[in-house]
């Protein structure tokens, strides 16, 4: 993969996490396979490429669709929260990278969670609960704090709230990847059409091989 394709994958990872957060906050449900893809990306340490982080570009179909919609100017007004979540992920990723001690603490927590999953076959919800605590302990104190908007009954549900925080963590991880791939706000602005075209191509190639 070339650099533009890898940057597009990182952006799609952010958009996918944001779309799933919006779905959970609105009606308490989201695509389970996409959620698993986003969550699992947190446990790909020292990946040699962006594709290795997500395992398979096919699992980012929701992210590609959202990227095309928002960067291509076709997103629905009702999904405006998604853009807010993505921009917040960019900001928190920058803050996290400026704080190596915090980044290391978070990394150790993810390694511990991955080891528990691998050695003890923890139930999925227990793994998500661990990610929820990691987010609250390490990301929630940072500014700007992401304010999730949705149905109060969904946001008060502990299990839904845990999935939302796990997805926000995955989105921030994708934003860190974007920065590691030399992504920037200026890059996003000047290459906007290139990212949209690349996302379309990657989505369509995935559909052809499905």
Q: Give the pTM.
A: 0.94
CATH architecture of residue range(s) 3-209: Orthogonal Bundle (1.10)
C-alpha 107/C-alpha 113 separation (Å) is 10
Structure confidence by residue, pLDDT tens digits, 182-195:
999 899 989 999 99
What are the extents of the domains in the chain? Answer: 3-209
Listed residue (66, 59, 56, 57) closest to 22, CA to CA: 66
Cis peptide before 144 (omega within 30 of 0): yes
Structure confidence by residue, pLDDT tens digits, 111-129:
999 988 888 777 889 999 9
Structure confidence by residue, pLDDT tens digits, 137-195:
999 999 889 999 999 999 999 999 999 999 999 999 999 999 999 999 899 989 999 99
104 near 88, Cβ under 8 Å? Answer: no
């Amino acid at each position: 993969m070339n650099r533009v394709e890898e940057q597009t994958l990182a952006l799609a990872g952010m958009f996918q996490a944001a779309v799933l957060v919006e779905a959970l906050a609105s009606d308490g449900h989201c695509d389970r396979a996409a959620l698993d893809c986003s969550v699992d990306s947190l446990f790909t340490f020292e990946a040699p490429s962006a594709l290795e982080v997500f395992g398979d570009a096919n699992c980012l179909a929701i992210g590609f669709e959202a990227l095309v919609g928002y960067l291509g100017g076709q997103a629905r007004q009702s999904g405006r929260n998604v853009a807010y979540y993505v921009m917040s992920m960019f900001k928190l990723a920058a803050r996290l990278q400026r704080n190596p001690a915090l980044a290391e603490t978070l990394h150790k927590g993810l390694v511990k969670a991955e080891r528990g999953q691998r050695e003890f076959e923890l139930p999925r919800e227990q793994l998500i609960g661990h990610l929820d605590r990691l987010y609250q302990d390490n990301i929630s104190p940072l500014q700007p704090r992401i304010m999730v908007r949705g149905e109060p009954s969904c946001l008060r549900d502990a299990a839904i709230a845990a999935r939302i925080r796990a997805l926000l963590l995955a989105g921030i991880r994708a934003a860190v990847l974007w920065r590691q791939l030399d992504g920037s706000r200026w890059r996003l602005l000047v290459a906007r059409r290139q990212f949209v075209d690349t996302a379309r191509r990657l989505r369509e190639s995935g559909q052809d091989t499905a």
